[in-house]
Chains A and B, each alone.
Chain A
Amino acid sequence: MVEKDFELIEHTADVGIRVKAKDLVGLFSKSGLALFQISAEKLPAKDKEKHKIIVALKANNIEELFINWLNELLSLSAVECLIFEGFEISKVDENCIEVVAIGVDIKNYKVNTEIKAATYHELKVEKTGSGWVAEVIFDV
């Protein structure tokens, strides 16, 4: 069992997560991975090929960037039929992110839950004394 890098937040209809990290690289990376850890479980590898996709996003503020990031991953996952397993983040600040997202074919996973989108409802992306914390509700 892989230890999860996030906590679940109770929500009646949907699913929420809380993620803590020492910097923005960790926050965006852990949150991106959480999406797929919630929805899919890995099967014994059928195919080891890794697919790399460049993601570059801009936004007016950190919260908008965070939501756009998660929704971009969901959208790419659906279109490219990939599950993302890792991220090489070359640049991230409060207004932009540049990443190489590393995914494998969805057939390597059993997908149990469909996450439709990340929402702004009760969204929190904050700098704390020890790093960053984010809370987000997903529509499932």
Chain B
Amino acid sequence: MSSIQLEKIDDFRWRIPKSYKPGMRVPGIIYADEKLLKDIYQDKALEQVANVAFLPGIVNASLAMPDIHWGYGFPIGGVAATDIEEGGVVSPGGVGFDINCGVRLLRTNLQFEDIKDKIKDLVYTLFSDVPAGVGSKGDIRVGNKEEKEILVKGSKWAVAKGYGTQDDLECTEENGAITGADPDAVSDRAYERGKAQSGTLGSGNHFLEVQVIDQLYDAKICDEFGLNLGQVMVMIHSGSRGLGYQVCEDSLRTMVNCLHKYNINVPDRQLACAPVNSPEAQNYLNAMRCAANYAWANRQCLMHLTRLAFEKVFCMGWEKLGMSLIYDVAHNIAKIETYNINGKEKKLCVHRKGATRAFPPGHPALPDRYKRTGQPVIIPGDMGRNSYLLVGTEKAVETFYSTCHGAGRVKSRTAATKSINLNTLLKELESKGIIVKASGRGTIVEEAPQAYKDVNDVVNVVHNAGISKRVCRMRPVGVIKG
């Protein structure tokens, strides 16, 4: 429970004053409404927003999205940009262990009517053909040399292998491969951990969902994206698996030990960091980019397996099924981006930990097809309620073009396990027409809708605050969990 007194800026923005804690370099800004604030006050996330404000070089504010909850170091839902020229740092804890955990959304030409009698078959086929769960191994096996290639080429490697198309790359953040990845910065142990995990979903909150569009908010953009009511969509949420965890762990070890060297004082060692221009930080960024590329390749492979499963069930090629990628976005990443700060162009290191990049219309990094609309922003909810597609806005410059990344947990896994009955939950979901298959029965309970905030409330805040704009809403009909 937090005792921080927040200052109200407006109905959707709240401030932790810089004076809250000696050592804060900037204030904290939380995007929330009064309803969500009640949940946010329940854990230590606000304290973590204040702690992030200690980072050297932090610009404007330590930011938190409405799905904010207690993490380690940074809160989940935290955004912080540091000014590289002013000694700004990069913190592996500001990215997290699951580097480039992210989500992608595919459209199909199918309508709910086309699949309603086949949902069970579809879910069981997806569950059988897409490796999921702890320790699951993929059929997509690569040798050492090829693994290094994945770390540099990301999704491009997968497409070259026939697991996708050029169009997929255009619809992926960074075209599926961030530049500056250096395989030599990745430890042998990280390679070992990643070797058998290409094309595997993982566990915990990672999922593959079949969804149906149940609400359109912006008819014009829906038209541009080829979306309509009742349309079947697929959402894939996964990350860089063991390779990413090891990259984070390796660099944290280094950075905890170099805090003294750079005379950096942070209130939580999980915020350990180093100036972006230092060798320690450069080594981390080079390795982090490798893990990010691994994650993009992984989601590309997962999408390939998904397309094949649909082909099997509907006896039709995936192209005919219209299974094109809307977009793929990272949730846990640090990027070097340029912003105008007080009239000067500045290179900033933008940490998004449980937050989504949301570039506005016209942004040069966007492909032509999204130049008019803004970047598609994909917000998964929980397995029992909704998920959303939004687009980025110019107003989001105040959050370094960032918005929320999901519903955000409100109940711990242990509390969920104690209070939720698996069979009752499965019956409830089935009564809503949602079929769930999971490797671990415990995962279903831990990921129950009751353990999450209502994503509708979360998206309401980012939409009304103007930092991204609702396009359409989906409801789940089939869920695969690890």
Contact = CB atoms under 8 A, between A and B. Distances in A.
Query: Does B bind A?
Result: yes
Contacts of B410: 12
B72 A113 contact: no
B268 interface: yes
A78 B242 CA distance: 8
Contacts of A48: none
Contacts of A110: 440
Interface string A70-91: 0100110011010000000000
Contact of B256 (A11, A120, A140): A120
Contacts of A39: 134
A140 B269 contact: no
Interface residues of A, number: 33
Contacts of A8: 414
A133 interface: no
A8 B413 CA distance: 11
Given A12-B43, A75-B249, A139-B97, A120 B268 contact: yes
A116 B245 contact: yes
Contacts of B202: 114
A120 B72 CA distance: 8
Contact of A12 (B248, B409, B440): B409
Interface in A91-140: 106, 110-114, 116-117, 119-123, 137, 139-140
Interface in B134-148: 134-135
A7 B56 CA distance: 36
Majority DSSP secondary structure for residues of A touching B: mixed
A116 B414 contact: no
Given A8-B414, A117-B248, A13 B76 contact: yes
Interface string A1-45: 000000010111111000000000000000000000001000000
Contact of B412 (A10, A106, A111): A10
B286 interface: no
Contacts of B441: 112
B72 A119 contact: yes
Nearest to A76: B189
Contacts of B193: 75, 78-79
Interface in B246-277: 246, 248-249, 252-253, 256-257, 268-270, 272
B192 interface: yes
B440 A13 contact: no
A14 B97 CA distance: 12
B73 interface: yes
- Which among A68, A74, A78 has the greatest number of chain B C-beta atoms within 10 A? A78
Given A39-B134, A112-B134, A12 B242 contact: no
A114 B134 contact: yes
Given A120-B72, A121-B270, A113 B245 contact: no
Interface in B73-119: 73, 76, 93, 96-98
Given A106-B135, A112-B440, A15 B414 contact: yes
Given A78-B242, A123-B269, A114 B249 contact: no
B71 interface: yes
A139 B74 CA distance: 13
Contacts of B409: 12-13
Contacts of A74: 245
B204 interface: yes
B307 interface: no
B71 A10 contact: no
B198 interface: no
A47 B182 CA distance: 41
A60 B412 CA distance: 33
A113 to B, nearest CB: 7
Nearest to A139: B97
B139 to A, nearest CB: 17
Given A8-B414, A10-B415, A111-B440, A117 B257 contact: no
Interface of B: 42-43, 45, 69-73, 76, 93, 96-98, 133-135, 189, 192-193, 202-204, 242, 245-246, 248-249, 252-253, 256-257, 268-270, 272, 409-415, 440-443, 446, 482
16 contacts: A10-B412, A11-B70, A12-B42, A13-B409, A15-B414, A60-B257, A78-B193, A79-B189, A79-B193, A111-B135, A112-B441, A113-B446, A114-B202, A120-B73, A121-B268, A137-B72
Interface of A: 8, 10-15, 39, 60, 64, 68, 71, 74-75, 78-79, 81, 106, 110-114, 116-117, 119-123, 137, 139-140
Given A112-B440, A121-B270, A139-B98, 18 more contacts: A10-B414, A11-B412, A12-B43, A12-B70, A13-B70, A13-B409, A60-B257, A75-B246, A78-B135, A79-B192, A79-B193, A113-B440, A119-B93, A120-B256, A121-B71, A121-B73, A122-B268, A140-B204
